[in-house]
Chain A
Amino acid sequence: MSELTGKLDELRGRFDAALTAASDDRALEEARIAYLGRSGEVTLLRRSIGQLPAGERPGAGKIINDVVEAMEAALEEARTRLQLRAFDEDLAQRIDVTFPSVAPMRGSIHPIRRVLEDICTFFERHGFAVVVGPEIEPDYYNFDALNIPPEHPAREGFDSFYITDTLLLRPHTSPMQVRTMQQHRPPVAIIAPGRCYRRDAVDARHSFMFHQCEGLLVGEQVHFGHLKGMLTGMCRALFGPDQSVRFRPSYFPFTEPSAEVDTTCPTCHNIGGPCRMCGGSGWIELGGAGMVHPNVLHEMNYDPDVYSGWAFGFGLERMAIVRYDIDDIRRFFENDPDFLAQFA
């Protein structure tokens, strides 16, 4: 028995030394196999019990079992120790977090579309549909149906590109009002964005190609206050929660009453003074709006005594200029990569 105990003690000593020396899980596993594996030293010793006298066997078995149990515990403890040491080493690592990031390959949406998306999202949330249409339109859609007959002085304001005597590149998105009302009975609630063209010489504020966003709501009990409400909401979605909207009387043949719409200048917060964006007035001009003219409703076979509605048409470039503090309308069409990258 004591011979067995002695052997076990000696073996245990070597095993503990191996565990202490082990620096990783593989070394521990090697130690386990060498001592406790199928042909490990302890396993071989256990097999040798059979050669002992029958009376000594149970005692010897228990001694070996106790030792095996202790060795397995030591092994587990060594594993834990190694794990903790690994954590400590890992956690001791320090990197320079200010090192430049690995740039993902990422594109960008043009600022005009970004502004448009926010407008459309706002209006869609309130039940409007976004519709799109052609850029070449007959003069009927551009003018006649909108209460601008031939010879009307307002036609002068639309210096248009003509394809034929009667076909032109639309100078505004209002033809979509006509198209939509021709195809649908009221209620009609649409937003119609798109490219428009006028023969303006290009400078910091003018472009012969630009984007407009048309809005139209026609139904029963639709009034001017609803227009102010929706435009206030739109300006808050675009420029911030404190925006308000001002209407000034104006004139458009297809609306009556008509208004110019201003919103508080988000650059100087309506304070005015030497503000580059609003020129000191504290207000930003957004564009024209008004109640749909009864002649337009009538042309669409909508009864103006039953239905009323409003429409607006705003330039998206203007809104993007104000929103992103852009200095020149030409930036939108130059597509400078450094410009576009700022909208990624």
Chain B
Amino acid sequence: MRVPIAWLREYVELLDDSQTIADRLAMLGFPVEHIEERPQITGVVVGRIVELDKHPNADRLQVGKIDVGTGSLLTIATAATNVAAGQTIPVALIGAKLPHITIERRKMRGLESEGMMVSAEELALPPEWFEDGIMQLDADLPLGTDVVEHFRLSDDVLDVEITSNRVDAMSMIGLARELAAAGGAPLRLPSFDNPGTALDAPGVAPRVTIASADCTRFVTQRFDGLRVGPAPAWMRIRLALAGQRPINNVVDISNYVMLETGQPLHFYDDAGVRDRHLIVRDARDGEKLTTLDDVTHTLTPLALVIADEDGALGLAGLKGGKTSEVSPSTTSILLESANFNGARIRRMSAKLGFRTDASSRHEKSPAASLTSIGAARAATLLTAIGAHAYAPHDFGEPLEPAAPIHFPLRDIRRLLGFDQSADRTRRHLESLGFGVTPLDGDAFSVVPPPWRRDVKHRADVVEEVARMAGYENVPTVIPTIAPHEIDGGEYHLEQRVAASLASLGYNEIITYSMVGADSFAKLRLGNVDRQTEAIEIRNPLSEDQRYLRIMLLPSFLAHIARVDRPLRIFEIAHVFTHANDYIDETQQVTFALAVEPGEEHAWHDPHFLRLKGDCEVLIRELTGRTPETVQDSRPVLHPGKMAAMMLDNQEIAVFGRVDPRIEHAYDLRLRVYVGRMLFNRIPPYIAPRYNPPSKFPSTYRDLALLVDLDITAAQVEQTVATAIGEFCVGVRVFDEYRGPGIDADSKSIAVRATLQRYDATITDDETDDLIARAIAALHNDLGARIRA
């Protein structure tokens, strides 16, 4: 909210500079987002045009004789066309400093000009909101009055953020009250007595029928003898500084009272309301209403309207209607100062898709008692511009005083961590308008002021105490935490996965959890099953973020395609699927290698083996155990280059090369190898058992075998290990060859067996004997032949 400091000064004395005032507001809970610094203008005074003549030497100029209260008239030329004799205007004297110029004595077409007639723009007011030409002031201002000082045009404007619970502070008086309480200064409120109270109302008195529980209170009042025209300069200037465009005296008064007190008002042309009978009711289905902005709405019963017998006149709390609009010829008006159920106004505003200054207050449920205050201020201001005010009429629920809150003073120490005297606490609360009655046993009975509907609990009172004492006085204390049994194991597992993968050379990335429907097609998961398995967002920001990921791969592929350089990346994130009637949300880690494409054998892939090694290390790190790799087949991965890692016959991870057709769908130049692991499949860590090394040397033998193509390395290793028995301490296939020199249906495999005894040095004879057994087993079980 734009808050001119000049306006605040109406209610509270403020001696500090703008920054200090802003800081004080921030420490009261009203952060100032921006301080708009006003230019320092000097030398502009109130003057009256006594005579006005054509400039003798220039058709487009006029020359005025201006009385600025000094006894002699100033001769000033102007190019403005809205000037006339008798007008009261701002005049810049010789030496005056305006935002872009300093006024000097100078000749205009041969005629000495002793100053300048001033427009709103030259006073740093929005020119499009004021007269086109010289600004018009009110005739009752003493001539020679310093315009800038009088209107406080050099006071800065604060942009204040007001939290949704403090609708009472969405007003100049509300913020002034806070500053007064915090600074120990008196609050100077205008009179809230309604001048219309004593007058009779001839003809039909206005009345209101409240036909909806969502209207709590409605004050109406009739005014006549009105002449619609511009509002006084002081009001227009204040509104403009507060960011509100001046329209005419009636509309400006409703805006002024709203900004001053927080109570939104609406004026109806008395002639536009049948029998002066206003009805608050739900709109009828299909009911049409054209609002002041010339938009015609087709309503549903969700909308709350103010109507007469003929139909809707306006949207309650939101915007008035065209048929009862105050026009330049209006002389008699009806006031609406009402209180509505905030939730209803918010729903209506959301449904209709617009908000107004009025609705932004109504939707936060301001105090119902404010309706009378708003009416009284409007009546005072309307009377001041010559209108007759008739008696106000209140409708709706009677005003209930707030319930007292039992406030034990020990709550201050218990919840804030500091002590202060009961007297100080009482003084602070009373300065904010709270009623305080001391009770036995160190407690207060606290009655919140009517405007503070946000204060309901002891804790709310504690906050008021803290705000007044100053949050800076809350001590800084490290607590001692009592023991508890909450387990943080899941987080630590995640940290270990991240640390392990980083140590293996993978870079952690974070990608968005949402993907588009196209990703299912690209992943060749386009069949109905997989896509309906994915969770759909009802209100996505865009189509390419409509679904939650069922796997991280699409994000990886998009990233790799964009970066287009070899990468090692991983991400830990949730994946989401529908499972029967619940949502399955699981933490998953995915890691990938993106490599330059190269010529490889059809039967050998070093990148796959690299990824396999990383998987093994990762799983060993997390479980303490070495997994077994088994061939497998899954969508998304290359059918001949993928595998699962198992522990105790439970699958822990899946890895392999991405299906080349998917790489192609993502326009990938690089080849991608990917592994993934679900966190809920990771078994608990089992500490490996230590194996003492043998004191005796080991020996090894390498065997070159010819086997059929379908014999696996694992089979060879297993056969050798079993045949050698307890002295076998290691078997590893270390080479494979196919091609010239070998039958097309065979491959050559090289395996090394390492042998060792724990009780003696193994002899060559023993070794040869055991290796011979291994060769026999390889031959018998796998059909292997020793290669010549």
Contacts and interface: CB of A to CB of B under 8 A. Distances in A.
A71 interface: no
A188 B486 contact: yes
B474 A247 contact: yes
A120 B476 contact: no
A61 interface: no
Contacts of B417: 223-226
B507 A107 contact: yes
A153 B477 contact: no
Nearest to B459: A256
A107 B415 contact: no
B507 A248 contact: no
A341 B476 contact: no
A209 B512 contact: yes
Interface in B477-513: 477-479, 481-488, 490-492, 494-495, 498-499, 501-513
Contacts of B463: 249, 256-258
Nearest to A169: B537
Contacts of A197: 513
B510 A109 contact: no
A182 B545 CA distance: 33
B507 to A, nearest CB: 5
A238 interface: no
A209 B415 CA distance: 34
Interface stretch (A11-19, A24-32, A227-235): A227-235
Contacts of A140: none
A344 B507 CA distance: 8
Contact of B415 (A224, A228, A259, A336): A224
B471 interface: yes
B703 interface: no
B20 interface: no
A48 B52 CA distance: 151
A105 B471 contact: no
Contacts of B483: 127, 187
Contacts of B585: 134-136
A169 B570 CA distance: 23
A195 B573 contact: yes
B375 interface: no
A336 B563 contact: yes
A291 B475 CA distance: 14
B511 A107 contact: no
Nearest to A200: B541
Nearest to B479: A226
A131 B490 contact: yes
Interface string B512-547: 111000000000000000000001111111000100
A156 B342 CA distance: 13
A107 B504 contact: yes
B347 to A, nearest CB: 7
B363 interface: yes
Given A126-B481, A128-B481, A225-B474, A208 B163 contact: no
A340 B509 contact: yes
Contact of B583 (A167, A199, A246, A248): A167
A291 B508 contact: no
Contacts of A107: 501-508, 568, 570
Interface stretch (A36-44, A78-86, A90-98, A214-222): A214-222
A26 B131 CA distance: 110
A180 interface: yes
Contacts of B583: 136, 163, 167
A84 to B, nearest CB: 35
B143 to A, nearest CB: 43
B509 A162 contact: no
B576 A136 contact: yes
A337 interface: yes
B227 interface: no
A75 interface: no
Interface in A159-203: 161-164, 167, 169, 180, 184, 187-190, 193, 195, 197, 199, 201
Nearest to A294: B459
Interface residues of A, number: 85
A304 B466 CA distance: 19
A33 interface: no
B537 A113 contact: no
Interface in A307-332: 308, 332
Contact of A180 (B418, B459, B486, B587): B486
A217 B482 CA distance: 10
A296 to B, nearest CB: 10
A265 interface: no
Contacts of A151: 343, 346-347
A335 B484 contact: no
Given A106-B502, A107-B568, A163-B536, A154 B164 contact: yes
A250 interface: yes
B433 interface: no
B415 A291 contact: yes
A337 B417 CA distance: 48
A189 B482 CA distance: 9
A287 B548 CA distance: 27
A130 B488 contact: yes
A259 B26 CA distance: 11
B459 to A, nearest CB: 4
A248 B481 contact: no
Interface stretch (B27-35, B200-208, B716-724): B27-35
B478 A184 contact: no
Contact of A162 (B165, B486, B492, B537): B537
A36 B726 CA distance: 48
A156 B346 CA distance: 10
Interface string B350-366: 00000000000001100
Contacts of B503: 106-107
B457 to A, nearest CB: 6
Given A131-B491, A136-B585, A333-B511, A251 B477 contact: no
Given A187-B484, A246-B472, A256-B457, A226 B478 contact: yes
Contacts of A222: 479
A120 B574 CA distance: 20
Contacts of B494: 132
A112 B572 CA distance: 12
Contacts of A144: none
B574 A259 contact: no
B138 interface: no
A251 B29 contact: yes
Contacts of A180: 486
B484 A189 contact: yes
B346 A217 contact: no
Contacts of A169: 513, 537, 548
Nearest to B161: A250
B479 A217 contact: yes
B250 interface: no
A299 interface: no
A228 B457 contact: no
Given A129-B488, A151-B343, 20 more contacts: A106-B502, A106-B503, A107-B508, A127-B483, A128-B481, A135-B574, A156-B164, A162-B538, A188-B484, A208-B541, A225-B416, A229-B475, A248-B27, A248-B29, A248-B31, A249-B467, A249-B471, A257-B459, A337-B507, A340-B508
Interface of A: 105-110, 112-113, 117, 120, 124, 126-132, 134-136, 151, 153-154, 156-157, 161-164, 167, 169, 180, 184, 187-190, 193, 195, 197, 199, 201, 208-209, 217, 219-226, 228-230, 232-233, 245-251, 256-260, 291, 293-295, 304, 308, 332-333, 335-337, 340-341, 344
The 7 lowest CB-CB distance pairs between A and B, nearest first, are: A225-B417, A249-B29, A127-B481, A257-B463, A251-B163, A223-B417, A151-B343
29 contacts: A106-B502, A107-B501, A107-B508, A110-B510, A124-B488, A129-B486, A129-B488, A130-B492, A135-B576, A136-B535, A151-B346, A163-B536, A163-B537, A169-B537, A223-B413, A225-B417, A225-B474, A225-B476, A228-B474, A229-B479, A249-B29, A256-B463, A257-B415, A260-B31, A294-B457, A337-B507, A337-B565, A340-B507, A344-B507
